[in-house]
C-alpha cells in the first residue's frame, strides 16, 4: 500500500473586514492580502489505469473546490458580522458592493474555522482535510487542524 501523503496548495486573495465592537483600529474598514494554505491527506492512487495515478488529489480539482467555496465568495469582499446594525450593513453593501455577512466576528481565527467547514464536505472520498493556515499579514496567521477538531 502507498504511504499516507499530505499535499498543500496556496490560495491568495484580497479581503476587507470590520471587527464589530472591537476596541482597536480594526473596528474600522481595512483590508488584507490573505494567503490560505490548504493541506489534505490521503493515499496516492495506485492504479496504472487511473488517470490520477500517483496523486492524492489533482491540484486542479483542489483549486476548483477552494475557488468555489472560498475565493469566489471572499475575494475582494468586505466581511461583516451580522451583529452590526442592518442600516450599517446595508450602507456597506451600497458603498462596497460585494459584502459578505457572517454569523461570527470575522477574525483570522474565525475565518479559518469557517473555511474548514466550507471545504471539507466537498473533498473526494478517501481525501481528508488535514489543516488550514490563513495568513492575514506577512507575519500573522491562524491555523486549523482536523486532529484538534474531532
CA-wise closest residue to 63 among 17, 7, 130: 7
Q: Is the pLDDT of residue 1 over 90?
A: no
Question: Does the structure show a pLDDT above 90 at 141?
Answer: yes
Mean pLDDT of the region 100-127: 98
Across the range 3-23, mean pLDDT stands at 96
**The architecture CATH gives domain 5-148:** 2-Layer Sandwich (3.30)
The pLDDT, as a whole number, for residue 63 is 98
The Cα 105–Cα 86 span in angstroms is 16
Say which residues have a Cβ less than 8 Å from residue 28's Cβ, sequence separation at least 6: 18
Which sequence spans correspond to the domains of the chain? 5-148
pTM of the model: 0.95
The residue whose grid cell reads 454569523 is 103
Which sequence positions are flagged as catalytic? 26, 76, 136
Question: Mean pLDDT across the stretch 94-105?
Answer: 95
The span from the first CA to the last CA of the chain, in angstroms, equals 26
85-93 own/partner pairs: CB under 8 Å, 24+ apart: 92/18, 92/29
Q: What is the mean pLDDT of residues 31-53?
A: 96
65 pLDDT higher than 90? yes
User: How far, in Å, are 43, 69, 77 from residue 145 at the CA level?
Assistant: 19, 18, 26
Band (33; pLDDT cuts 50, 70, 90): very high
C-alpha–C-alpha distance, residues 27 and 18, integer Å? 5
Tell me what pLDDT residue 150 has: 85
Amino acid at each position: 500500500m502507498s504511504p499516507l501523503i499530505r499535499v498543500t496548495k496556496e490560495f491568495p486573495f484580497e479581503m476587507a473586514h470590520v471587527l464589530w465592537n472591537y476596541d482597536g483600529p480594526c473596528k474600522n474598514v481595512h483590508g488584507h492580502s490573505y494567503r490560505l494554505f490548504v493541506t489534505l491527506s490521503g493515499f496516492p492512487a495506485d492504479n496504472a489505469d487511473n488517470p490520477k495515478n500517483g496523486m492524492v488529489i489533482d491540484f486542479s480539482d483542489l483549486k476548483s473546490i477552494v475557488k468555489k467555496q472560498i475565493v469566489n465568495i471572499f475575494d475582494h469582499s468586505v466581511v461583516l458580522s451580522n451583529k452590526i446594525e442592518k442600516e450599517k450593513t446595508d450602507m456597506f453593501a451600497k458603498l462596497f458592493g460585494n459584502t459578505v455577512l457572517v454569523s461570527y466576528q470575522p477574525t483570522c481565527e474565525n475565518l479559518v474555522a469557517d473555511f474548514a467547514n466550507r471545504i471539507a464536505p466537498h473533498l473526494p472520498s478517501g481525501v481528508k482535510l488535514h489543516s488550514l493556515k490563513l495568513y492575514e499579514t506577512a507575519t500573522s496567521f491562524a491555523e486549523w487542524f482536523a486532529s484538534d477538531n474531532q
